[in-house]
């Protein structure tokens, strides 16, 4: 079912112009019919020039708005709210310029929400890929599809709020790229401006928890609507948790999150505000206890960490053939697992989209 007027895709960009060009070329090639709104936080003319060059025949329906988000995350939150307020369709999805949309899976999310008004959002399984061993690049000879994101909650929220909160913090499951009913995304975006978290990790946890308090969400486990490139994140590149903690105010952020979410839950459940407030703090503490040892290893045992890097480099250089063979076998195994999860009547379309994207990424390397 084509419901062009019911959905808008919002692309949030800041720099990385080569990825924006690739993204637009891809959308143009697949004849993307839905309206696109581009929110550009870079405050220069480059993105606008790229849109004009790629979309010179106006095959894509694009609205472009420019912002200045150089002052920090608060400007980013305000940009997101402002651009969402420009969306007039019932459904919306956020997108990054280094990722790809599967049209078949996207249409399935839109169709599901159109037919099931009790849900505020839905998502297929988000897939991942890398180019040339996680190189920061737009095209390359070696494109490998990686394991899909793990999913633990196919229906949200869970029946008990404490179970749900604990699961959110200990079993990460993305919902940033869900297809949402626009009115609920606007509520969340408005609150993010007001709360103004200094840390994007807390921002992401807030979106997950707040969406669950607004209504039901569903993972359509046999569908795939979004493909993420790994190795290109401007946030995670050279990220050090300790420096990030000093520069920002994560303790205050998590208390603000706890205060807001605990109040909302206490208004609609048998739990008290204080009870949920404390439980959120404990759950976040458990998250840190799990996360910190993984990111501090290279600082606690620097010699061991350097030895590990040398071993990996030696393995890559010495056994390049076996590494390529391992990647090929791993890639084939992952693809077979993905295809097994897909519904049989949608399998042909999914395979065609995978082949198209892989050819798009490899054949354009020299262009």
Q: What is the CATH number of the domain that holds 7?
A: 3.90.550.10
* Coil, helix or strand at residue 245: helix
Does one domain contain both 123 and 199?
yes
pLDDT value for 5 = 77
pLDDT surpassing 80 at residue 232 = yes
In the block, tokens 């061993």 appear at: 133
Number of domains in the chain: 2
- CA nearest to 211, candidates 125, 109, 82, 121: 121
CA angle 94, 124, 102 (to 5 degrees): 70
The pTM for the full model equals 0.88
Which residues span the domain enclosing 209? 99-231+303-363
Least confident of 36-45, 82-91, 309-318, 329-338: 309-318
Q: What is the pLDDT of residues 273-309, one digit of tens each?
A: 999 999 999 999 999 887 666 555 555 556 666 676 6
Does one domain contain both 44 and 187?
no
Q: What is the pLDDT of residues 40-65, one digit of tens each?
A: 999 889 999 999 999 999 899 999 99
Q: What is the mean pLDDT of the chain?
A: 89
Residue range 338-342: average pLDDT?
83
CA angle 286, 288, 289 (to 5 degrees): 65
Strand order, beta sheet including 100-101: 100-101, 226-229, 126-131, 143-146
Residue range 20-24: average pLDDT?
97
**Domain boundary residue among 73, 97, 121?**
97
pLDDT value for 338 = 84
């Amino acid at each position: 079912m084509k419901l062009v007027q019911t959905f808008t895709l919002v692309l949030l960009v800041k720099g990385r112009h080569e990825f924006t060009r690739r993204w637009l070329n891809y959308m143009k090639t697949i004849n993307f019919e839905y309206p696109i709104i581009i929110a550009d936080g870079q405050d220069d003319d480059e993105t606008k020039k790229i849109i004009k060059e790629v979309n010179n025949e106006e095959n894509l329906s694009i609205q472009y708005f420019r912002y200045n988000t150089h002052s920090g995350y608060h400007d980013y939150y305000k940009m997101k709210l402002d651009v969402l307020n420009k969306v007039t369709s019932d459904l919306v999805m956020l997108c990054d310029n280094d990722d790809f949309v599967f049209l078949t899976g996207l249409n399935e999310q839109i169709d599901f929400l159109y037919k099931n008004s009790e849900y505020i959002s839905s998502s297929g399984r988000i897939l991942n890929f890398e180019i040339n061993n996680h190189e920061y690049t737009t095209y390359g000879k070696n494109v490998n599809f990686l394991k899909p994101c793990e999913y633990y909650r196919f229906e949200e929220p869970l029946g008990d709020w404490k179970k749900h909160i604990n699961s959110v913090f200990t079993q990460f499951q993305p919902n940033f790229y869900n297809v949402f009913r626009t009115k609920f995304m606007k509520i969340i975006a408005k609150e993010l401006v007001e709360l103004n978290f200094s840390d994007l990790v807390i921002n992401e946890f807030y979106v997950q928890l707040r969406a669950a308090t607004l209504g039901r969400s569903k993972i359509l486990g046999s569908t795939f609507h979004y493909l993420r490139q790994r190795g290109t994140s401007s946030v995670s590149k050279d990220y050090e948790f300790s420096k990030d903690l000093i520069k920002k105010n994560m303790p205050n952020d998590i208390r603000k999150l706890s205060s807001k979410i605990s109040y909302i839950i206490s208004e609609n459940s048998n739990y008290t505000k204080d009870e949920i407030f404390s439980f959120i703090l404990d759950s976040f503490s458990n998250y840190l206890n799990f996360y910190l040892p993984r990111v501090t290893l290279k600082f606690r045992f620097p010699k061991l960490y350097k030895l590990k890097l040398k071993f990996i480099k030696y393995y890559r250089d010495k056994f390049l053939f076996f590494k390529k063979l391992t990647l090929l076998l791993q890639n084939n195994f992952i693809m077979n697992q993905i295809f097994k999860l897909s519904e049989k009547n949608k399998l042909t379309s999914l395979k065609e989209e995978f082949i198209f994207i892989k050819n798009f990424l490899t054949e354009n390397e020299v262009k």
